[in-house]
Amino acid sequence: MFDILKKIFTGGNEFALSGLVLMLFGGLTVYLKSIPSKLWHWIVDQTTMVITVKDDDAAFEWVKEWFQEQKFLSESGGSTWIRPSATSGSR
């Protein structure tokens, strides 16, 4: 493998050398392109929490009332993110 690469770099085969450089540049570009997305997902994962309480569970009403009493909901326009689960039998 190293002999082949050595021949490509030192043998004067411009076509193979250009293809190798293009492949390395393309791979590096794809890797660098994915970094902002991975960084964003890491930040979101570190700063948010998701809980699931099904609407047929006794804790659903308690959690719903507790969330509606929180200040951050009234400061954000009163929108609530609590909704009944679509997987329950109440469809």
Helix then strand then coil, % of the chain, to nearest 5: 65, 0, 35
pLDDT given for residue 44 in this prediction: 92
* 72 band by pLDDT with thresholds 50, 70 and 90: confident
Mean of per-residue pLDDT scores for the chain:
79
With contact defined as beta carbons under 8 Å apart, do 53 and 60 qualify? Answer: yes
Kindly provide the b/e burial profile for residues 47-76, where b requires at least 16 CB atoms within 10 angstroms of the residue's own CB: eeeeeeeebeeeebeeeeeeeeeeeeeeee
Domain ranges of the chain: 1-47, 49-84
